[in-house]
Amino acid sequence: MERVLGLTLTKNGVKLVESRIRRGKVSIINIKEGFTGDIYDKDIKAKIKRFLKESKVKTKLTSFSIPDEDVFVRVNYYPLMPDEDLKKIIIDELSTYKIFEGDYPVVNIFRLKIEENRGRYLIVASPRSLVENHIKFLNSLGLEVKNLNLPSISSFRATKVFKRDCFKGSGVFIYVSFKKTTLIYFLDGEINQLREFDIGLESLNENKIQFLNEISNTISYFSREEKKAIEKIILSGIDKGVEEIFNEIKERFGIETILGEILPQREYYFSTPVGLSLFNLEEKLKINLIPKDILEKRKDEAKVFFLVLFSVLLALLLVGLSIYLLNSISITNESIKGINSNLKNVEKSLENLKGIEVEYRDLSTKKKELEEVLQNYKNINFKNYLDEIIKNKPQEITILSFNCNSDMNFTIRISSKSLASIYDFRRKLETSEFFNEIKLRGIDRLTDGVSFTTIELTGEKKW
């Protein structure tokens, strides 16, 4: 496997790790830390580019740690149902949260456990506009973004790979970021529960008692929920400062407590970029917040390349064929002379077919009359479907075009500044029971917030 760059960008600087997995063995090839200053500095892009060059990074393939504040994480229970139905329900629920206001969520859903007729699901989501901004920023650095992942899950993955024995039995992995703390309950290395609360490194000192109480309450909940005592605590984080709380956690809970240092002579906070660089390593949770259409863009570009290559080869083939045809013209001319004599005989035969020509003209006239009747019927269908579509159209939706592909198939091109109104329009068309099938052909979102999409409708004969 080729090298992968794991990259974290925090308020204190950049951390990178280049890793390679070959035959199941992990090799850490490059590990660096740089203090580039405030991430909102106008010169931050130039500083990071210089840092990557000085670090002698040899790959563009990158897995990036998306900031906690840009990600929505929850563990919820739902009845067992098909994945597509579950995703619709979760997207409807996410639309009520402020982080997704006026935006469309990129959603990852993972089933952690089945209990009777319901499942426990981990939901990881982020607004598409924030994800696209991160991708554009990383692309501007000359990097090829392959994966956007959570820092806490990445740290959990790296710590499990390098300290596998620590994950035997039941325990809690505590990850302290700048604004949040994530608690992951694991059982023999597998994630069973997850919870976040809004105290991180920035506010830890003034909220230390509440921080410890939140951990205590969560550990008690995990133990009751899983009916199994917590045997150990593993502590890690995004940056310096976690070690200051290590002894207090150890004394407070009286449980075996481990600081998640995974590499010799390296601080625990390198576990995140290491875990990011191992995103392809086989495991239960494969989180990637890059939308599918962006992720598959490279495949489309490859298709275009091969299409161009095929066109060039086809052109060369046609040139060769043309040369061959020119050589055949002289032979063909001789054949034409013989054909001309045969045509004279055919012309004599055609004189006997004049009566048939009259009958053919009459049949053609009747065919046109039938086609006019059929077209009138189609126009009635067209008007009924159009009336039904306009009746269900939200006010925010603008219909740009309406095409009738056949008497049962239509496409409409629409635009709106609200992604929610697009999905509301689709739901209304579904509940109208006026159409047999409704397909949404992707959504194009411009920088001014306007979204465009094409809806394909297949109707039923309701009259």
Whether the predicted pLDDT of 213 surpasses 90: yes
The overall average pLDDT reported for the chain is: 85
Note the helical H segments in 3-100: 44-54, 83-94
The set of residues, in sequence order, having a beta carbon less than 8 Å from that of 245 and lying 6+ positions away, is: 176, 204, 208, 211, 235
Whether the predicted pLDDT of 437 surpasses 80: yes
> Whose CA is closest to 235, among 225, 243, 227?
243
pLDDT digits (tens, 9 = 90+) for 393-421: 888 888 888 887 776 787 888 888 888 88
Please state, in angstroms and rounded to a whole number, the distance separating the CA atoms of residues 17 and 62: 10
Please state, in angstroms and rounded to a whole number, the distance separating the CA atoms of residues 155 and 181: 13
Per domain, the residue ranges of the chain are: 4-295, 383-459
Cβ atoms 272, 177 nearer than 8 A: no
Please state, in angstroms and rounded to a whole number, the distance separating the CA atoms of residues 384 and 147: 47
The set of residues, in sequence order, having a beta carbon less than 8 Å from that of 208 and lying 6+ positions away, is: 245, 248
pLDDT of residue 463: 39
Domains 4-295 and 383-459 share a fold: no
Q: What is the residue type of 425?
A: F
Whether the predicted pLDDT of 462 surpasses 60: no
Cβ atoms 239, 225 nearer than 8 A: no
pLDDT of residue 461: 47
pLDDT of residue 1: 60
* Tokens linked to 430: 């579904």
- Kindly report the CATH number that applies to the domain delimited by 4-295: 3.30.420.380
pLDDT tier, 367 (very low <50, low <70, confident <90, very high otherwise)? confident
pLDDT of residue 426: 84
β 144-149/451-459 pair status: unpaired
Please state, in angstroms and rounded to a whole number, the distance separating the CA atoms of residues 183 and 234: 10
Yes or no: domain 383-459 corresponds to CATH 3.30.1360.100? yes
Residues forming beta bridges with residue 63, ordered by sequence position:
6, 147
Please state, in angstroms and rounded to a whole number, the distance separating the CA atoms of residues 412 and 394: 14
pTM summary value: 0.64
pLDDT digits (tens, 9 = 90+) for 136-194: 999 999 999 999 999 999 999 999 999 999 999 999 999 999 999 999 999 999 999 99
Please state, in angstroms and rounded to a whole number, the distance separating the CA atoms of residues 104 and 86: 17
pLDDT digits (tens, 9 = 90+) for 50-94: 999 999 999 999 999 998 889 999 999 999 999 999 999 999 999
Please state, in angstroms and rounded to a whole number, the distance separating the CA atoms of residues 185 and 211: 17
pLDDT tier, 443 (very low <50, low <70, confident <90, very high otherwise)? confident
Q: Determine which of 204-208, 404-408, 445-449 has the lowest per-residue pLDDT on average.
A: 404-408
